[in-house]
Amino acid sequence: MSRRQFAAPTRGGSEPPDDTGCTVLHVDMDAFYASASLISRPELRGRPVIIGGAGGRSVVLSATYEARAFGVASAMPMARARRLCPQAVVIEPDHRRYAAISEAVMATFATITDSVEPLSLDEAFLDVSGAVRRLGPPTQIAEQLRDTIADEQGITCSVGVASTKFVAKLASTLAKPDGLIVVPREEVVSFLHQLPVGAIWGVGDKTEEHLHRLGLRTVADLAHTPLETLQRALGDVAGRSLHDLAWGRDPRSVVPERREKSIGADETFAHDIDDPVRIHRELLRLADRTAARARSAGMTGRTVSIKVRFSDFTTITRAKTLRHHTDVSRDIFATARELYDRLGLQRARIRLVGVRLEGLVPSAVAPIQATLDEPEHGWREADRAVDRASARFGAGSVRPASLMPDRPSGSQRERRDLS
């Protein structure tokens, strides 16, 4: 979803929304790192506060909504954030506190349902279909969660209640901060069609500009464009995905995942770098290695995450859950690069990058699904040919063309991590 904020669509009628069948909840903490940091600094509530290192080369980890109103955003260089909001108070991150609060929030989710799919430290999908008889309708469960988290953790959250994951996540975003939006099943299409195309999950700045050039400015415009036209303009997979989402179609279910069940690799550089070309190249190498390790272990994953550590040791992570499980190097790299590019970093000095494949299941349990634009002999077959060559001639004997030259001298060490 684009970083831009969108207003919630107006809803006709004065009756409370019917939440029958709306058993998917997306719960997202509001400005999590900032809110958690202010627990011990209550005098700063209501003021612009930035979380991050105080050094000139530091980056923003998070900011309160008062600071965001001045244009401050996560991953922004601290120097720029201070120029945008010179009156802001800067607080050093407290990662132990964040982890403890996240663990407590996830434990609260577990008291509601076993079907919890964490997306990061501060957000998760919940399927509450099995809890309705015990705890009441979905809206009541959502309100209970919000009250419990506020009372026990001292932070607020926003909740989207819907019949699909896509609409629930969109609703929670529109409800921020400290809000709740229910989207009845019968109102999904009217809800979506009032929104600009940039609100659709997966439409970033570049895709939004492309859609605008096509004359598509609202989700309704997108929905009423012939599928074939969208596929010619955006590609088979992206065109079909956006067309389905514009009509509220999202067949994905909430899949409980243990986030520690993952395969990945990190790279720490000898010298901080700010060249996006080099970072893209490193992401490719790490994605290639992560995919090979997944295939070797006979596992596939559905969530790709990246880790970026800056020169001041501030660390951020971003993740994206795919529609299908994968162990394909190309898929993992494309997602990792998308996540990195969405950060919008402007020559920030980077110390470490990492790529991780999460939500692992055995390959036999979740067979890989081919994409519409995949050639007859697809990328999985190519990856397996590389695996066979590596087994015979040694690791690294076959690699992507862009990795054939010597690795940059800035690369110091790479850590294998399989948990």
| CATH architecture of the domain covering 24-29+98-247 | 2-Layer Sandwich (3.30)
pLDDT band at 262 (very low <50, low <70, confident <90, very high): confident
Share of the chain above pLDDT 90, in %: 59
Q: Quick check: 288 and 333 in contact, CB under 8 A?
A: yes
**What are the residue boundaries of the structural domains of the chain, listed by start?**
24-29+98-247, 32-94, 262-364+378-403
Whether the predicted pLDDT of 179 surpasses 90? yes
Residue 382 has a pLDDT of 55
Q: Quick check: 274 and 350 in contact, CB under 8 A?
A: yes
Whether the predicted pLDDT of 369 surpasses 80? no
Percent helix, strand, coil in the chain, to 5, is 40, 25, 35
Kindly state which CATH superfamily the domain 262-364+378-403 is placed in.
Answer: DNA polymerase, Y-family, little finger domain (3.30.1490.100)
**Residue 375 token pair:** 């050639």
Strands (E), 97-217: 116-120, 123-127, 157-162, 180-182
Indicate left, alpha or beta for 163 from its phi (over 0: left) and psi (-120 to 50: alpha).
alpha
Whether the predicted pLDDT of 404 surpasses 70? no
Q: What is the pLDDT of residues 39-90, one digit of tens each?
A: 999 999 999 999 998 766 788 999 999 999 999 998 888 989 999 999 999 9
Residue 321 has a pLDDT of 87
Mean pLDDT of the 112-131 span: 93
Best CA proximity match to 250, nearest among 285, 201, 186: 201
Residue 374 has a pLDDT of 45
Mean pLDDT of the 109-130 span: 93
For the annotated catalytic residues, the residue numbers are 123
Decide: helix, strand or coil at residue 239: helix
Whether the predicted pLDDT of 411 surpasses 60? no
pLDDT band at 364 (very low <50, low <70, confident <90, very high): low
Picking from 298-302, 351-355, 380-384, which range would have the lowest pLDDT averaged per residue? 380-384
Compute the mean pLDDT over every residue in the chain, rounded to the nearest whole number: 85
Neighbours of 304 (CB within 10 A): 27
Whether the predicted pLDDT of 373 surpasses 60? no
CATH of span 32-94: 3.40.1170.60
pLDDT band at 2 (very low <50, low <70, confident <90, very high): very low
Q: What is the pLDDT of residues 195-210, one digit of tens each?
A: 999 998 778 888 899 9
Q: What is the pLDDT of residues 267-282, one digit of tens each?
A: 888 889 989 999 999 9
Q: Quick check: 287 and 333 in contact, CB under 8 A?
A: yes
pLDDT band at 311 (very low <50, low <70, confident <90, very high): confident
Q: Do domains 24-29+98-247 and 262-364+378-403 have the same CATH topology?
A: no
Between 56 and 297, whose confidence is greater? Answer: 297
Binding residues for Mg(2+): 28, 122
Strands (E), 230-364: 262-273, 299-310, 315-326, 350-358, 361-362
Whether the predicted pLDDT of 17 surpasses 50? yes
Picking from 96-100, 117-121, 262-266, 409-413, which range would have the lowest pLDDT averaged per residue? 409-413
Q: Is the pTM here over 0.85, yes or no?
A: no
Phi–psi pair at 87, nearest 5 degrees? -85, 0
Between 284 and 398, whose confidence is greater? Answer: 284
Picking from 92-106, 195-209, 277-291, which range would have the lowest pLDDT averaged per residue? 195-209
